[in-house]
C-alpha cells in the first residue's frame, strides 16, 4: 500500500513539473506579444493627463487644487479668471 501511494505521489509530482515547464514557455511568448501590443496601442489616460499638465502654467495648476463654492451670479467670470478646478 505504501508503494502505491509513493508511486501515485511521484506521478502527480512529475505531471505538475511538466505542466510548469510548458506554462513558462507559453507565458514568456504571451508576455512578448503583450509588450508589442503596449508599444503599438493608443496613448493611455495617464499619458493624456501628463500632456495636459505639461501645458498648464503654475498658476493654473494651483487653481486646480482649490475647491471653491461661488454664488450663481458672476460664477463663470470668476472661474475663468482664477482657473479654479474641482
What is the per-residue pLDDT across 12-61, written as a single tens digit (0 to 9) for each? 777 776 544 555 555 555 555 566 656 657 889 999 999 999 999 998 88
Q: Return the domain boundaries, the chain.
A: 43-85
Residue 68: what are its φ and ψ, rounded to 5°?
A: -125, 135
pLDDT the model gives residue 18: 52
Q: Note the pTM of the prediction, 2 decimals.
A: 0.37
Q: How far apart are CA 18 and CA 25, in angstroms?
A: 11
How far is CA 67 from its chain centroid?
Answer: 27
Consecutive H or E run containing 5? helix 2-40
Amino acid at each position: 500500500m505504501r508503494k502505491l501511494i509513493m508511486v501515485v505521489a511521484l506521478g502527480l509530482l512529475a505531471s505538475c513539473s511538466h505542466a510548469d515547464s510548458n506554462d513558462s514557455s507559453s507565458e514568456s511568448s504571451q508576455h512578448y506579444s503583450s509588450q508589442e501590443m503596449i508599444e503599438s496601442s493608443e496613448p493611455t489616460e495617464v499619458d493624456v493627463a501628463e500632456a495636459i499638465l505639461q501645458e498648464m502654467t503654475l498658476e493654473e495648476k494651483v487653481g486646480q487644487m482649490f475647491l471653491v463654492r461661488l454664488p450663481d451670479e458672476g460664477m463663470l467670470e470668476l472661474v475663468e479668471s482664477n482657473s479654479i478646478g474641482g
